[in-house]
Amino acid sequence: MAAVTARAEGAGIAPGDPHTAPRDADSGEELLVLWELVQTAHVASRAFRATFAAAGLGPTQFGVLACLADGDDLTKTQLAHALMVRPQSIDPLVESLIRAGLVARDGPARRGQAAGISITPLGLDRLAAARPLVSRLNAPERLGLETGEIAPLVRHLRGIRDRLTRDGEFDEGL
């Protein structure tokens, strides 16, 4: 029972361990950046779902179309990697986009052979309708930020994401 309690209380991490989250100097609150990101992601996800619904898309559908918009044909595996989703979730997504006429498979889907996926003119139109809505959602004043704060924040978030996904998994050596 004591081992379970120790794990529940922080896996034996001693107070002041240099590998723990910092505390706010004024309140003493532990500053949990990743938890704040998770909570913010929930709110942002709801806003994106509502925004994309106005354009007749879902967030991941938008991501697929945005990935394909530059003219490169990507395989389902490449799309899954680009969107940071599990490869298993791409199959139904791509199939739904094909049925909707938003993307096309370049050649037949055959076992052992990856077919490229490309965006259709209808997909480009739907993406063009969604982009201004997404831009509006990301406006600095909507986020409560100054314009000059956006680029550093995006760089920090990308850096965190890159660190957490290095070599495909969280770096346990932290």
Residue 122 lies in a domain: yes
pLDDT at 125: 95
The domain that contains 66 carries what CATH number? 1.10.10.10
Residue 141 lies in a domain: no
pLDDT at 173: 46
Averaged confidence pLDDT in the chain: 84
Residue 82 lies in a domain: yes
pLDDT at 174: 44
The whole domain housing 100 covers 56-134
Tell me the whole-structure pTM to 2 decimals: 0.75
Does the pLDDT at position 168 exceed 70? no
Phi-psi category of 28—alpha, beta or left, where left has phi over 0 and alpha has psi -120 to 50?
Answer: left
CA–CA distance, 111 with 139 (Å, rounded to integer): 44
CA–CA distance, 119 with 71 (Å, rounded to integer): 8
pLDDT at 86: 87
Q: Which of 13-27, 58-72, 87-101, 135-149 has the lowest mean pLDDT?
A: 13-27
